[in-house]
Chain A
Amino acid sequence: MRIRSPKDFWAGLIFVAIGAAFIALASQYRLGTMHRMGPAMFPMLVGALLAVLGAIIALRSFVLDGESVPRFYARPIGVSLLAIVLFGVALQWLGLVAAVAVLVLVGAWAAREVRPLETVALAAVMIVFSVAVFVWLLGLPLPLWPDM
Chain B
Amino acid sequence: METLSNLAFGLGVALSWQNVVYCFIGCFLGTLVGVLPGIGPVATVAMLLPFTFGLGPAPALIMLAGIYYGAQYGGSTTAILVNIPGESSSVVTTLDGHQMARRGRAGPALGIAAIGSFVAGCIATLVVAFFAPPLAEIALKFGPADYFSLMVFGLIAAVVLARGSLMKAIAMVCFGILLGLVGTDVNSGVIRFAFGLPELADGVGFVALAMAFFGITDVVLNLEHKDKQEVFTSRIGSVLPTMEDLRISFWSIVRGTGFGSLLGILPGGGALLASFAAYMIEKKVAKPPRSFGEGDIRGVAAPESANNAGAQTSFIPMLTLGIPSNPTMALMIGALMIQGIAPGPQVMTERPELFWGLIASMWIGNLMLLVLNLPLVGLWIKLLAVPYRLLFPAIFVFCCIGVYTVDNKIFDIYEIAVLSGVGYVLLKLDCEPAPMVLGFILGPMMEENLRRTMMISFGDLSVFFTRPISAAFLIAAVALLAVIALPALRAKREEAMQE
Contacts and interface: CB of A to CB of B under 8 A. Distances in A.
Interface in A1-51: 7-8, 10-11, 14-15, 18-19, 22, 25-26, 29-30, 33-39, 42-43, 46-47, 49-50
Interface in B171-215: 171, 174-175, 177-178, 181, 185, 187-188, 190, 192-193
Interface stretch (B312-320, B393-401, B490-498): B393-401
A53 B396 contact: no
Interface in A47-76: 47, 49-50, 53-54, 56-57, 60, 67, 69-70, 72-73, 76
A88 B393 contact: no
A135 B414 CA distance: 22
A35 B459 contact: yes
Contact of A111 (B192, B389, B447): B389
B424 A77 contact: yes
Contact of B178 (A8, A22, A85, A141): A22
Looking at chain B's contact residues, the main secondary structure is helix
Contact of A43 (B178, B396, B414, B421): B178
Contacts of B447: 42
B405 interface: yes
Interface residues of A, number: 72
Interface in A104-127: 104, 107-108, 110-115, 118-119, 122-123, 126
B170 A53 contact: yes
A30 B189 CA distance: 12
B420 A29 contact: no
Contacts of B190: 29-30, 39
A115 B389 contact: yes
B389 A33 contact: no
B219 A80 contact: yes
B133 interface: no
B177 A91 contact: no
A47 to B, nearest CB: 6
B192 A15 contact: no
Interface string A118-143: 11001100100010001000111110
A50 B400 contact: no
Interface string B387-418: 01110111011001100110010100110110
A138 B54 contact: yes
A97 interface: no
A127 B431 CA distance: 36
A106 B219 CA distance: 15
A38 B51 CA distance: 39
A145 to B, nearest CB: 16
A72 B428 contact: yes
B54 A139 contact: yes
B168 A57 contact: yes
B175 A104 contact: no
A34 B461 contact: yes
Contact of A22 (B193, B393, B460): B193
Interface of B: 50-51, 53-54, 165, 167-168, 170-171, 174-175, 177-178, 181, 185, 187-188, 190, 192-193, 216, 219-220, 223-224, 226, 388-390, 392-394, 396-397, 400-401, 404-405, 408, 410, 413-414, 416-417, 420-421, 424-426, 428-431, 443, 446-447, 450-451, 454-455, 458-461
29 contacts: A7-B429, A14-B425, A25-B192, A34-B461, A39-B185, A42-B446, A46-B177, A46-B181, A47-B178, A49-B174, A56-B167, A77-B424, A80-B396, A81-B420, A85-B413, A87-B400, A88-B410, A91-B400, A96-B401, A100-B401, A107-B392, A107-B393, A111-B389, A111-B392, A112-B223, A112-B226, A134-B50, A138-B50, A139-B54
